[in-house]
Structure 1
Amino acid sequence: MASGPEEERARPEVDDDDDDDIPQLSSAAATALREFLEQRLEGEKGEGDKPELVAEDWRLSQFWYDDRTARELAAEVSLLASSLPGAAVACVACPTLYAYLKKGSPDVPARLLEYDERFGRYGGDFTFYDYNRPEELPPALKHAYRIVVADPPYLSQECLVKVAKTVSFLAPPEGSFLLLLTGEVQTDRVLQLLNVHPCGFKPQHSNKLGNVFRLFTNYDPADRLGGWDRSDGAHI
């Protein structure tokens, strides 16, 4: 996760029983692509090949994912991108994922939206982003990303609502994949705002944090990332 400094407008609640608009990846395509990506990732691990990351700045609520988390997320995003030829990826306040994605799948078009201007090192792939101004983004980015990954920098309702506005700006109204990483305490809020459900996979950070984090998606990854968590209280 990464951030900006500390108008709320809640989006209407979405009926989570209506799965008609949830994008799906065919099982056959997913299996073949996953095997390919796993082989490539194993090769990278054997080489000890990790992308270079800037130092975390705790004042900006920056906490980088650990290697396993970053690799698994990058593999999932690559898999989704492979199923949608030409689809671009927006990484909202998650520079670790962006770095791993570009290292392992440089052919996947991806953009990092971040407050920390040190990431201007990524050139044209970097867009300055202040979550307090969720829709003050270049017009060309509107509805331009079929895959959006977001990691709100703070575990507050205010921050989540504003990031949800950014997600709605970036993703087309239908047919997009959303992955959201945030604290488990946000489970009810993310369901209401973005109609996403928790997966079995639990993100970890290089510096251990006191809060339990979860990965939420608007599609069921099935046998990937632990699938949707269908235990009691998961609201699926």
Structure 2
Amino acid sequence: MCDSDDEEIKLSAETQAILNQFLKEKEQQEKSQVVEENWQLSQFWYSEATQKTFGKIMKQLIRDSKMKEDICVALLSCPSLFETINSIADNVRLFEFDERFQKYGKNFVHYDYNLGNDENYLKEYKKTFDLIILDPPFLSEECLRKSFQIVNRIKKDDCKIILNTGIVQKTLAKELGLEKSSYKPQHKNNLGNEFASFANFDLNKYI
């Protein structure tokens, strides 16, 4: 009787272990699935070289500044940088409209730049982030201004900000306190618009 009971308990434990392994593999598979660009959402993924460059920038910022691995990083509308940055820093949040990126679990925050005028929008993240990288989906003044309203809400006072956008936004970026760097982000599918990285610090030093 005891032998039988022990066998049942052991079998139950083994079954649970198999189930746990299956669920873990399923979760990893879902996370590893490639999310294709949705041009209707104005999505254009960065090239591998650009992703690696931002990984290098992240490592340099951690090494050469007061930043630590546990700094809080916000990625606004640039999901193709998430896996690279998340492999380097511990606290990364992806603010993204596309709900396909819910696969990143608690690291995903549903985000709509159109709500930038709402003072209560994302107030739970007020003065949270040490580093913000953003790539507004549209090359319009309205989109950038609303995006920056949110940036100003969620950034710490000494937050470093990197903006990837078209050269056409240079004047507005300067008005918002960002200087053009020498770096030009590249996309997997070449875009007609020339892009550049703008920052509120000397980004060239970290490239």
Q: Same fold (TM over 0.5)?
A: yes
- 8 Å contact kept, 1:81–1:88: no
| Counterpart amino acid of residue 122 in structure 1 | Y
Alpha carbon RMSD of aligned pairs, Å?
A: 1.6
Per-residue CA deviations over 1:59-118 (Å, capped at 9, x if unaligned) read 00000000001111122123324531232000000001112212x42x431000000000
Alignment match of 2:143 (pick from 159, 162, 174): 159
- Structure showing greater Rg: 2
Could you tell me which residue of structure 1 aligns to residue 90 of structure 2? 108
Q: How far is 1:53 from its partner?
A: 3.5
Cα 1:222–1:59, aligned 2, differ >3 Å: closer, same or farther? closer
- 8 Å contact kept, 2:123–2:154: no
CA distance in 1, matches of 2:154, 2:62: 16
5+ long unaligned stretches in structure 2: 1-31
Summarize the alignment of residues 80-99 of structure 1 with structure 2, pairs less than 5 Å apart: 80-82=61-63, 83=65, 84-85=67-68, 86-99=70-83
Q: How far is 1:142 from its partner?
A: 0.9
Cα 1:53–1:216, aligned 2, differ >3 Å: closer, same or farther? farther
1:203 aligns with 2:166: no
Alignment match of 1:60 (pick from 41, 64, 67): 41
CA distance in 2, matches of 1:155, 1:167: 17
TM-score scaled by length of structure 1: 0.68
Per-residue CA deviations over 1:26-48 (Å, capped at 9, x if unaligned) read xxxxxxxxxxxxxxxxxxxxxxx
Alignment match of 2:51 (pick from 61, 70, 76): 70
CA distance in 2, matches of 1:52, 1:202: 28
Matched length? 171
Cα 1:81–1:89, aligned 2, differ >3 Å: closer, same or farther? farther
TM-score scaled by length of structure 2: 0.77
CA distance in 2, matches of 1:64, 1:137: 27
Q: How far is 1:222 from its partner?
A: 4.3
* Identity rate, percent: 35
CA distance in 2, matches of 1:177, 1:223: 13
Could you tell me which residue of structure 2 aligns to residue 186 of structure 1? 169
More strand by share: 2
